[in-house]
Amino acid sequence: MTEQDKKSGTNGEEQLRGEKFFNDPGFWGFIHRSFTKSMGYTDGDLRKPVIGIANTFSELNKCHSHFRELTEYVKRGVWQAGGLPMEFPTISIGEPYVKPTTMLLRNLMAMDTEEMIKGHQIDGVVLIGGCDKTVPAQLMAAISANVPAIVLTGGPMLNGRLNGQSLGACTDCYQFTLEHKAGNISDQQLSDAENAVCRSDGHCQVMGTASTMAAIAEALGMALPGCAAIPAPDSRRRHMSEATGIQIVELVRRNIRPRDIITPESIDNAIRVTMACAGSTNAIIHLVAIAGRLGYKLPLERFDEISAATPFILNVRPSGKYQMEEFFEAGGVPALMKELEPRLNGDCLTVTGQTVAENLRDVTIPNRDVVAPLDQPLGAQGGIAVLRGNLAPNGALIKQTAVSEHLKKHRGRAVVFNSPQDLIDRVDDPNLDVEESSVLVLKNAGPKGAPAMPEIGQIPIPKKLLLQGVRDMVRISDARISGTSYGALIVHTAPEAAVGGPLALVEDGDEIELDIEARKLELYVDDETLRRRKEKWQAPAPAYDRGYGLLFIERVLQADEGCDFDFLQPPEIRNKK
Ligand code: FES
Ligand code: MG
């Protein structure tokens, strides 16, 4: 943090922002006091540090359905600690509700949140988020606004239950719809599953993007220890909310800010936790964007380096066996970090006001079936591998823990779909020229192409192969996948097809090779042929010709750069290009 934007707290050198706001001796002070007191606050209240609470409750976001209640518990904590809680709304984005994809609105939410924090005279802020894109948006905003902040995540749903089976969204949502499509389960069974998978408040129960980002908020030091895994309806999430309210006042008093907490070292801790829990590939885009807000250009290779040196030890779906509820009972993120402690940067400061090492001092690991020991891991390496090759010069990702064994090294012929719509139109055509060994390629589903990289990288298995029992194939796209997806899915291919990346040049029948161990993704077409194809290539028409959609297409960065808007990054990183 520069001295210029660092402002002292209650250390006597300078007033808090809220104090200045209410104590202005002139006309504006009168207005600020008069207007605020009309809502029932007293002069005594207006002398307290002002704590903003970003409440992203929305009936258009199931994962945030309980946030009104959590907000009340945060307020309770703020009052107890001598602060003045002031709740405000920001936009709220729920995965299944926003079309074409929430990713289109992540940066808008980050801008909304940042400007709300900066535009109001608040001294600290609690950011209540949960569903996939909300926590990264809030973390990006927190860094840019750099006012003392704590993230409070909303917690996962209770495990779904049906016929003695434990179910989780959205992994089982795919399974049930797939088996229904294959004719293996009835309409009634599908309906029963619908009612059973989601049975409480909270976000998805597996280690999808929401759970991964909650774990990351904790690993970065921006959420209180233990926050991520407490189920949404559990009374202990209310206690955590109150504790967060108390702690934000303390952070204001001590003037601890997001840029004191989020550093390249704490980002390494977050990457390590992501890899140890085989977290969502989406987390990579978000962490690169978060780093970018610091002015830190985080290379994809850092993920691969840490992944290679971090065993996969968290036995939670989609790569493991259990769900967030069992992870909570097994000690949650603190237990996972305790096991990883020898490989973490223990000196990083956190919102407790203490370091990672201090936070972990008394942590125990009660269940070794959920948090496996480092020397008896579920996989020798972390969940995500970064692939390179002439098909992805700027990288592509694969969640290696979710790939069928026989596809980890595979060579096959491309079956190409030119757009998400082309995929929908043709994938189930009985005449599609495809076989089990084919490599399905989806183009124009990237940051500018789709736009906003919808989670359609889990290209469906063509129905005719599905009926033959095929359940996994190598699939390549410039799209994203849901953190709950499963299979040999190569995603985030960069540069994307819509800007003329090599993916744009693939044609039906081309040979493609995936070799996860060698981190290779190769298109076997000679350079001369590729050059001729490139000459004929035309960029697809943009999906928007006005408004926010157009701004998005014009200013969004590629997947390997975090898909932030270029102008939201600090000038020092922009000038490096
Ligand atoms: Fe919100 Fe899965 S839909 S976390
Ligand atoms: Mg998701």
β-strands 149-153, 124-129: how paired?
parallel
Decide whether any atom of ligand 1 lies within 6 Å of the 213 Cβ. Answer: no
Mean pLDDT of all residues in 211-239:
98
Q: Would you say residue 6 lies in a domain? A: no
Closest ligand by atom to 155 CA: 1
Provide the pLDDT for residue 1: 38
412 in the same domain as 526: yes
Examine the pLDDT at 369 and tell me if it is beyond 50. yes
Distance CA 67, CA 554 (A): 34
Name the amino acid, one letter, at 158: L
Q: Does the pLDDT of residue 160 top 70, yes or no? A: yes
Which of 142, 171, 195 is the endpoint of a domain? 195
325 located within any domain: yes
Q: How is residue 335 annotated by DSSP? A: H
Q: Which atom of ligand 1 is nearest to the CA of 484?
A: 2
Whether ligand 1 lies within 6 angstroms of the CB of 131 is answered as yes
Residue 7 pLDDT > 60, yes or no?
no
Ligand 1 pocket, residue 207 CB under 6 Å: no
Cα of 433 vs centre of ligand 1, distance in Å, is 35
Q: How far is the CA of 422 from the centre of ligand 1 (A)?
A: 27
What are the structure tokens assigned to 483, written together? Answer: 């953190």
For residues 137 and 259, membership in a common domain is answered with yes
Across the chain, mean pLDDT equals 95
Enter the pTM of the model: 0.95
Instruction: Supply the CATH number for residue 207's domain.
Output: 3.40.50.2300
- Same domain (yes/no): 149, 189: no
The torsion angle over the Cα atoms of residues 544, 549, 551 and 554, rounded to 10 degrees, is: -50
What pLDDT does residue 14 have? Answer: 63
What per-residue string of b and e applies to 289-311 under the rule 16 or more CB within 10 Å gives b? bbbbbbbbebebebbbebbeebb
Position 71 in a domain = yes
Does residue 342 sit in the same domain as residue 459? Answer: no
What's the whole-number mean pLDDT along residues 10-26? 78
Q: Are residues 77 and 119 in the same domain?
A: yes
Residues 406 and 340 in one domain: no
Q: For residues 348 and 338, is the Cβ–Cβ distance under 8 A?
A: no
- CA-proximal residue: ligand 1, atom 1 (nearest): 131
Assign residue 449 the CATH number of its domain.
3.50.30.80
Number of domains observed in the structure of the chain: 4
The answer on 223 and 174 residing in a single domain is no
pLDDT at 2 over 50: no
Q: Is 157 in the pocket of ligand 1 (CB under 6 A)?
A: no
CA distance 480 to 275: 18
> Does 475 reside within a domain?
yes
- 131, HSE (Cβ side, Cα atoms, 13 Å): 30
Does a structural domain hold residue 555? no
Residue 146 lies in a domain: yes
Is residue 38 domain-shared with residue 60, that is, in the same domain?
A: no
- pLDDT per residue over 432-458, tens digit each? 999 999 999 999 999 999 999 999 999
Give the residue, by CA position, lying nearest to ligand 1 atom 2: 204
Is residue 197 lining ligand 1, measured as CB closer than 6 Å? no
Identify whether residues 347 and 442 lie together within a single domain: no
Q: How much distance in Å is there from the Cα of 205 to the middle of ligand 1? A: 9
558 assigned to some structural domain: no
Dump pLDDT digits (tens) for 86-139: 999 999 999 999 999 999 999 999 999 999 999 999 999 999 999 999 999 999
Measured from the Cα of 170, ligand 1's closest atom is 2
Inside any domain, residue 556: no
Beta strands 409-417 and 511-515 are antiparallel
CB of 94 sitting under 6 A from ligand 1: yes
Asked whether residue 296 falls in the same domain as residue 425, the answer is no
Residues 136, 171, single domain; the answer is no
Which ligand 1 atom sits closest to the C-alpha of 132? 4
Select from 95, 133, 171, 197 the residue to mutate for testing ligand 1; criterion: most ligand atoms less than 8 Å from CB. Answer: 95
Number of the ligand closest to the Cα of 484:
2
Q: Give the domain range for residue 206.
A: 48-158+200-360
Co-location of 254 and 191 in the same domain? no
